[in-house]
Amino acid sequence: MKQEKIIVLDFGGQYNQLIARRVRECSVYCEVHPYTLSIDQIRDMEPMGIILTGGPNSVYDPSSPSCTKELFALGIPVLGICYGAQLMAYVLGGRVLTAPVSEYGKTIVTADTKERLFEGIKETSVAWMSHTDYIAEVPEGFHVTGHTDHCPVAAMSDREKKLYAVQFHPEVVHSEEGFRILRNFVLDICGCAGDWRMDSFVEKTIRELKEKIGDGKVLCALSGGVDSSVAAVLLSKAVGEQLTCVFVDHGLLRKNEGDEVESVFGPEGPYKLNFIRVDARQHFYGKLAGVTEPEQKRHVIGEEFIRIFEKEAGKIGAVDYLVQGTIYPDVIESGLGDSATIKSHHNVGGLPEHVSFREIIEPLRMLFKDEVRKVGLELGIPEKLVFRQPFPGPGLGVRIIGEVTEEKVRIVQEADAIYREEIDKAVSAWRRKHEDSGAETGSDVVSADGCKVNFGGKNFPDWMPDQYFAALTNMRSVGVMGDFRTYDYAVALRAVQTDDFMTASCSALPHDLLFTVTGRIVNEVKGVNRVLWDLTFKPPGTIELE
Ligand code: XMP
């Protein structure tokens, strides 16, 4: 059976991935492609609908990304958004002008609710605008279906040809009726059934992997992170014992993390896969001795990780396939520029160069992060692993300022475990209180691509950080414990909220939580007599300390 799909043609807009996310929220599979896709390529894909994104250019600039008239004559419904709307108007003979007043931000749009695209929405609603040019005259056959105070054509359509355009951005959460508009386009106008579900993804992927791999040998570098874990379990369901997972414990993991990963993927776990846990802790501590410069530390850790993985792979011998946990945001090509590069995913230090394999398998390359999490739950992977917060490849190595030693690793592991335990407790208490009182609970957590994620159907308080951890400063200071003077380390605690990890603010954790965590760490972690709270935003700070 063919997978029904919508394609998004990217004209360089900021929200291209967000459009695809929203379409997938309608349970319709969606892919983002550069605008340079040819008409034949588009036809071959057999999309149920096409969405043209926004972009920073002006249609009159000859170097601007463009499309041909044929795109609109395929008989496939098209929705143009912002620049995509102007392009539709321009290419089909309408007029686009530079607006005397640019509209930016929240704007009131009045829409013709008799229009199919706007069925069921409010006649006037807030929508997100970001444009300088505007459609001054619609092409022949089109009707104006929406306007704002400054924009005579905020929406237009040619119903017969199934061509629709909106000047505003329905994909962003600030557009009140945006999601309903996209739903109307995808389900009603394009006629999609909406059967893209994670359970069918799992079934289909396992079947395809079985066919592809046959009796080949597969190798997977397992980090214990969400993506590699989900990829490994999918593969194990498909080819069972033909899969070998190598998990390198570099001694820079969080407390008990190595055992937790082994309990799921090791011989006692539910998946019965060939699992090799390499205890390389002392090797790493040895290599890191005397290394204090942050970049050099990262380099040493990345390099050694690959060497050890290669050594283990060498013992297994030639493999047919290497598994990588690449996900969709890593592979989407940018619409602009002729030499669009595909970003590669570097879990720890990149791909090993000397491991011999025939092909790389990336079973998650079409999924967004929250879809990967859904697949993880579908596969029965414990929630604790599925909802793990991001953890850097170099691990605690970048959370210990200065030289890494086994003793410092112990300190930061223990402090971090207490911190995480207390946050868990505070969240549970918050949930009990709010759910008991019957009040509306929490806000959604925003994922890396700016979408709201409802983690496993649970709610979180507003202060819930997206990432939080303990780090060890390289500073010692004087304290008093009992009747004795101490001269111990200071632990720094961090809790940040962020959509994309490029910028971050600090979470306003409740005061009682701050005091409890501080008290427990200085009392329970030997070698620590001071706790400092790092409230630096990014920028100017970074999330990790090194
Ligand atoms: P920074 O410290 O740059 O971190 O503000 C941004 C996000 O990236 C994570 N991070 C890493 N992830 N390998 C990774 O896989 C790395 O070397 C690495 N360094 C930072 C960090 O945890 C945060 O989520």
pLDDT tier at 351, thresholds 50, 70, 90: low
pLDDT tens readout for residues 387-415? 888 899 899 999 999 999 999 999 999 99
The best mutation among 400, 501, 534, 546 to test binding of ligand 1, ranked by most ligand atoms within 8 Å of the C-beta, falls on 501
Q: Which CATH number fits domain 5-189: 3.90.1150.10, 3.30.450.20, 3.30.70.260, 3.40.50.880?
A: 3.40.50.880
CB 18, CB 172: distance < 8 Å: yes
Query: Is the minimum distance from the CB of 541 to ligand 1 under 6 angstroms?
Result: no
E strand or H helix at 466? none
Give the distance (Å) from ligand 1 centre to CA of residue 510: 26
Residue spans per domain, the chain: 5-189, 198-395, 404-534
pLDDT tens readout for residues 469-516? 999 999 999 999 989 999 999 999 999 998 777 788 999 999 999 999
Give the distance (Å) from ligand 1 centre to CA of residue 338: 29
Please state the atom number of ligand 1 nearest to the C-alpha of residue 347. Answer: 15
pLDDT tens readout for residues 271-315? 888 999 999 999 999 999 999 999 999 999 988 988 898 888 889
* Top-tier CATH class for 198-395: alpha beta
Query: Is the minimum distance from the CB of 330 to ligand 1 under 6 angstroms?
Result: no
Instruction: Give the residue-averaged pLDDT of 204-233.
Output: 94
218 Cβ neighbours under 8 A, 6+ residues apart = 235, 239, 242, 243, 244, 319, 320, 321, 322, 323, 361
Query: Is the minimum distance from the CB of 543 to ligand 1 under 6 angstroms?
Result: yes
CA torsion sign for 150, 152, 153, 155 is positive
pLDDT score recorded for residue 273: 83
Query: Is the minimum distance from the CB of 538 to ligand 1 under 6 angstroms?
Result: yes
pLDDT tier at 341, thresholds 50, 70, 90: very low
Give the distance (Å) from ligand 1 centre to CA of residue 304: 19
Q: Whose CA is nearest to atom 24 of ligand 1?
A: 390
pLDDT score recorded for residue 333: 57
pLDDT tens readout for residues 419-474? 999 999 999 999 888 776 655 444 444 433 333 344 444 578 889 999 999 999 99
User: Annotated catalytic, 299?
Assistant: no
199 Cβ neighbours under 8 A, 6+ residues apart = 378
Q: Whose CA is nearest to atom 7 of ligand 1?
A: 501
Q: Whose CA is nearest to atom 14 of ligand 1?
A: 392
pLDDT tier at 249, thresholds 50, 70, 90: very high
CB 222, CB 185: distance < 8 Å: no
Instruction: Give the residue-averaged pLDDT of 13-38.
Output: 90
Whole-model pTM? 0.79
40 Cβ neighbours under 8 A, 6+ residues apart = none
Per CATH, 5-189 and 198-395 having the same topology is answered: yes
CA torsion sign for 116, 120, 125, 129 is negative
User: Annotated catalytic, 171?
Assistant: yes
Quote the percentage of the chain above a pLDDT of 70. 91
Quote the percentage of the chain above a pLDDT of 90. 68
- CA-wise closest residue to 127 among 187, 167, 185: 167
Task: Please state, rounded to an integer, the average pLDDT across all residues of the chain.
Answer: 89
Q: Whose CA is nearest to atom 22 of ligand 1?
A: 392
Up-side HSE of residue 88: CA atoms within 13 Å toward CB? Answer: 33
User: Of the ranges 150-159, 320-329, 350-359, 368-377, which is most confident?
Assistant: 150-159
Question: Lowest-confidence range among 44-53, 74-83, 265-274, 526-535?
Answer: 265-274
SS3 101: strand
Residue 348 has pLDDT above 60, yes or no: no
Query: Is the minimum distance from the CB of 501 to ligand 1 under 6 angstroms?
Result: yes
Residue 182 has pLDDT above 60, yes or no: yes
pLDDT score recorded for residue 336: 57
pLDDT score recorded for residue 502: 77
- CA-wise closest residue to 428 among 468, 386, 460, 406: 460
Number of helical (H) and strand (E) elements in the chain, helices listed first: 14, 20
Cis check: omega of the bond before 539, within 30 degrees of 0: yes
404-534 classified as CATH 3.40.605.10: no
pLDDT tier at 316, thresholds 50, 70, 90: confident
Tokens 């329905």 found at = 170
18 or 158, greater pLDDT: 158
Query: Is the minimum distance from the CB of 467 to ligand 1 under 6 angstroms?
Result: yes
166 or 464, greater pLDDT: 166
Query: Is the minimum distance from the CB of 188 to ligand 1 under 6 angstroms?
Result: no
Give the distance (Å) from ligand 1 centre to CA of residue 222: 18
Distance CA 414, CA 416 (A): 5
Question: Which residue in the list 171, 176, 304, 312 is annotated as catalytic?
Answer: 171
SS3 93: coil
Strands (E), 76-188: 78-81, 95-111, 124-137, 143-147, 155-158, 163-166
User: Of the ranges 75-89, 258-272, 316-330, which is most confident?
Assistant: 75-89
Query: Is the minimum distance from the CB of 542 to ligand 1 under 6 angstroms?
Result: yes
Query: Is the minimum distance from the CB of 12 to ligand 1 under 6 angstroms?
Result: no
Query: Is the minimum distance from the CB of 390 to ligand 1 under 6 angstroms?
Result: yes
pLDDT score recorded for residue 187: 97
The best mutation among 537, 543, 545, 546 to test binding of ligand 1, ranked by most ligand atoms within 8 Å of the C-beta, falls on 543
User: Any idea of the CA torsion for 53, 57, 62, 68, to the nearest 10 degrees?
Assistant: 10
pLDDT score recorded for residue 350: 52
User: Of the ranges 8-17, 129-138, 245-254, 358-367, which is most confident?
Assistant: 245-254
